[in-house]
A and B are shown apart, each in its own frame.
Chain A
């Protein structure tokens, strides 16, 4: 695996960076969708995430990376072991799994291990990408171009947190809880609403129009491409700082207070925007809380809500095609009214 561009070296794009960090602090926020123009560094940011994540503890020899903690979902192999308290575990990097376009269904869900079947006549299950992504992140670049049958499958698994395989005489179920991260360019096609719904946060990225910023983006990218190792070294300390903040934020998260006033504000905001159901409010609260934790605050305040309003709500607005303003602008307007 080649060295990815350091997260801390990304210039500007605060909304995108916050959304990704929030998902790293609290995976329960639900996935992140990054939509925007070409050449804005969408996938750079997502790939940079992998380097920021602290390692996790997994059951030894488990293909699904089951959590040794009791009370968490585990696969058929680990469940009896955990019941017997035989929780031998190892530290492993949090998986950030790529789902490339052109992937076939058998590799996504897993299938009969052909090699073993042909050579040894053994019927064994070969886990797919969903198994590898368990407890980590599943990244789909050009998510709006993903084939429909794979989208259906993802929607199903993302909702249940479990992958059920019934094919070739195999019957396997295993935990598949992952944070879905997608990126794409809306000019190439819209995203199915059912899939859109699976993303907790959605960010819009645009190219910087400020010359200073553009120069800095180009400089850093150029330096990275000429010598990835040296560049990564320059930024290692900064990335390390962010990683420590993520670890601290995860610890702090359960203790972050959500005052009544913040709840009221969130509800007002959702009402002003006419978002459907309670999911918007929940996503906004969770995201604001994770941001507060990341920034070391003990309670959610207006600043957290304001900054998370657009990513948490912009994709939940009822579409009004006659309103030419982008959904981000509509959220910004509502924020101004509510927080006036």
Chain B
């Protein structure tokens, strides 16, 4: 998965490192507008040195680390129990996000953050404040911070949530840099001068002018690279401004635009720009027409900028130079994907497992009166509420020495009720081999979508594994999103051999993973049951078949509800035997239509899984 040829040359490593330091400097200048940085790096010396560089540059300011498994109470704030009991009135304890105000929030293993936590974090970032409505307390507390999200995901499936990525201006990849190329003490010396530059840049920042040409070239580059979100363009503007401030200029130049395009837009590219000629024309036109949609009272200097004439010394227009710089800065791994046109999948798969990890283990769902035991959590606020009406009487009976404290008795105890959801995930394992593949895939796709429409009523999920040739691939990770499913399922390829054993193994491991996350999987296998590719990828019907039977037996040990849909035109003995080996319900459906399949699955999940 390393996007650079491994090992990268020293020059490449040095330039990557320079870029990382540049990002730290720019972020330190305007942390509020830039949001932060996503850093792809695992724990190690390079990451530590970079983090120390950043810390030196932003100091003195708060430096807050946020664990992945943080609770709402710690994240947003809640009732301070000991203070509340001591004071005899509710006392609020601020959460981590309020504490991080004016500082930097460090997220390690950010790819593991549950969707629910990311959503809370991004709401606070957008609002510039924590809006607290918890535990009988209501407060709005302004907070602004920069986020450093370390993305340690090994695959694209497992990477930082797109919602958070969208709000962080920068993306860095430190994985290709060898610890030998970076030296802590050299670094500290090198950046010693930057600290003053940053302080100066901060004071200049508010007065930096962004000429129309810079704005339109950045917007044009974003469009050409397929960067849809408007936040990216806006952050590119802020980076251009910070870069100009750092250089001591008053007006942002095309150099600054180049820096912004390289650092902000290039890593977000979702397509390679089309041929430059029409692009140029469009942009020139856009600039001309731009006057037309100026706001009504725009004659004040707020929006009135004089675009400097293009530098005659350069023979290429600014648009092209910025776009070229951005193109050159697209990370190698991303570039190859873009060129292969395979980014659609990647862009959408983003945070596949998130909805699962998101808290399906149970989110708080109120409380009930009970004694805390067996690991259940005391619900503080409701316990106090239960105790509150009795305070006068209890204090009276206890005498004067108990005046200041809140009297809590065991009968007041409330425990938090957690909604444990064992949501069903229906895992389709579809035979994409041979001639009937296209038909079968189309029907499986239809069945997946019909089921999703139904699942979405019950908040269940669907996943899909397709197998052909030598491999079985998880094409659709567990999801509840119809939108995402449709996108992943469009254009499934078909044809090739039947690696049935591999497919069954993959299904078993995915099902096991789901179960570990507190889900109940149901497997639906659509195949004619005739294996002809063995686990090691070699052909041979006999061995393939015996391996498939063996895999089937192993699968049966998981005791997952199974449905075997035989799709061959004439139901075969082998298929029935295989279904028997995995103790699946066997349904011959020679012309399995989407509706029939989804009906059968629904029947199976209702009496099988529930």
Residues of A participating in the B interface, judged by any CB pair closer than 8 Å: 1-2, 9, 11, 37-41, 43, 98-108, 111-115, 117-119, 121, 123, 126, 128-129, 141-142, 145, 147-149, 168-169, 185-190, 192-193, 207-209, 211-223, 225-227, 230-231, 234-235, 237-238, 319, 321-322, 324
Contact = CB atoms under 8 A, between A and B. Distances in A.
A185 B231 CA distance: 15
B133 A217 contact: no
Interface in B27-66: 33
B90 A2 contact: no
Given A108-B133, A234-B295, A211 B237 contact: no
Contacts of A121: 388-389, 391-392
Contacts of A226: 206
Interface residues of B, number: 93
The 9 A-B pairs of least Cβ separation, nearest first, read A39-B229, A321-B449, A117-B388, A107-B133, A103-B133, A39-B231, A121-B392, A100-B131, A149-B365
Interface stretch (B308-316, B482-490, B567-575): B482-490
B303 A219 contact: yes
Contacts of B457: 192-193
B181 interface: no
Contacts of B486: 321, 324
A213 B119 CA distance: 28
Given A38-B166, A39-B232, A216-B293, A234 B119 contact: no
B389 A123 contact: yes
B76 A102 contact: yes
B296 A237 contact: yes
Contact of A169 (B140, B289, B296, B389): B389
Contacts, number: 226
Contact of B223 (A111, A188, A214): A214
Nearest to A41: B230
Given A112-B136, A145-B119, 15 more contacts: A39-B232, A104-B381, A105-B366, A106-B382, A107-B138, A114-B89, A121-B391, A123-B389, A189-B355, A192-B459, A218-B218, A218-B233, A218-B237, A321-B450, A324-B490
Interface string B470-497: 0000000000111110100010000000
B594 A100 contact: no
A142 B90 contact: no
Nearest to B88: A118
A102 B453 CA distance: 28
A103 to B, nearest CB: 4
Contact of B231 (A38, A100, A149): A38
A230 B355 CA distance: 42
B302 interface: yes
A118 B133 contact: no
Given A38-B166, A102-B75, A212 B89 contact: no
B162 interface: yes
A38 B388 contact: no
Interface in B288-319: 289-290, 293, 295-298, 300, 302-303
B493 to A, nearest CB: 18
A214 B219 contact: yes
Contacts of B290: 212, 215-216
Nearest to A219: B215
18 contacts: A39-B228, A40-B230, A100-B133, A104-B134, A107-B136, A111-B136, A145-B116, A149-B365, A185-B163, A187-B350, A187-B483, A190-B482, A214-B223, A215-B216, A218-B230, A231-B302, A234-B303, A321-B446
Nearest to B288: A212
Interface in B116-154: 116, 119-120, 123, 126, 128-129, 131-138, 140
